[in-house]
Amino acid sequence: MLRAGTRQRHGWQTGCVPHTVLLAEDDRAIRNALERALTLEGYRVTAVADGVEALAQAHRSRPDVLVLDVMMPGIDGLQVCRVLRAEGDRTPVLMLTALVETADRIAGLDAGADDYVVKPFDVEEVFARLRALLRRAAPPEPAPAPAPEPEPDTSGRFLEAAGLRMDPQARRAWRGARELELTRTEFELLELLIRHAGVVLEHSTIYDRIWGYDFGPGSKNLAVYVGYLRRKLVEPGAPQLIHTVRGVGYVLREG
SS3 labels along 37-76:
HHHHCCCEEEEECCHHHHHHHHHHCCCCEEEEECCCCCCC
pLDDT at residue 216 in the model: 67
Q: For 204-252, how does the pLDDT look when each residue is reduced to its tens digit (9 = 90+)?
A: 888 888 877 666 666 777 888 888 899 999 888 888 899 999 889 999 9
* Beta carbons of 71 and 100 less than 8 angstroms apart: no
Q: How far is CA 93 from the centre of its chain?
A: 8
pLDDT at residue 238 in the model: 85
Hey, how many other C-beta atoms are within 10 angstroms of the C-beta on 138? 10
Query: In the structure, what pLDDT confidence band is assigned to residue 150 with cuts at 50, 70 and 90?
Result: very low
* Beta carbons of 190 and 166 less than 8 angstroms apart: yes
pLDDT at residue 1 in the model: 54
Q: What's the rounded Cα separation, in Å, for the pair 45 and 43? A: 6
